[in-house]
Amino acid sequence: MGESGCRVRAGGRMRAAALFVAMTVMAPPVSADDVDRAKGDAGLGMATVLANAFYMPVKIGYAAVGGVTGGLGYLLTGGNRQVAERVWVPALGGDYVLSRDMVAGEEKIKFSGDRDPDL
């Protein structure tokens, strides 16, 4: 096993080195604009993750409280669905996760759902 094990390891290293060289030679050239764009995207990506770490628990808590409150409204009014939906639609609707475009300000964040004006 000693000698064959060494050959396998050496062969694996040679293949890894050949793959590295091939990828390096075949890689397209990178411009300064590409680097700046990548830095901006990475920063915006991190900001999106951080914003969601705070936004999502607040939104889920708001939806949970709204769901319970709407349910209580439904029960206390003898099954009046309109009363419940006045609470459920805004609380349970809206965005639960922020996208990159929302964090960048390119898309509007809808924390609450749109209520039907007839309710």
pLDDT surpassing 90 at residue 109: yes
Q: Is residue 79 part of a domain?
A: yes
Task: Using a pLDDT cut of 90, give the percent of the chain over it.
Answer: 55
pLDDT tens digit sequence for 25-78: 776 766 666 556 666 677 888 999 999 999 999 999 999 999 999 999 999 999
Confidence of residue 16 (pLDDT cuts 50, 70, 90): confident
- This prediction has a pTM of 0.63
In whole angstroms, what is the distance from residue 14 CA to residue 58 CA?
53
In a domain, 15, yes or no: no
Residue 66 lies in a domain: yes
92 belongs to a structural domain:
yes
Domain of residue 104 covers: 49-119
**φ/ψ bin of 57: left (φ > 0), alpha (ψ from -120 to 50), beta (otherwise):** alpha
CB proximity list for 52: less than 8 A, separation 6 or greater: 97, 98
The structural domain count of the chain equals 1
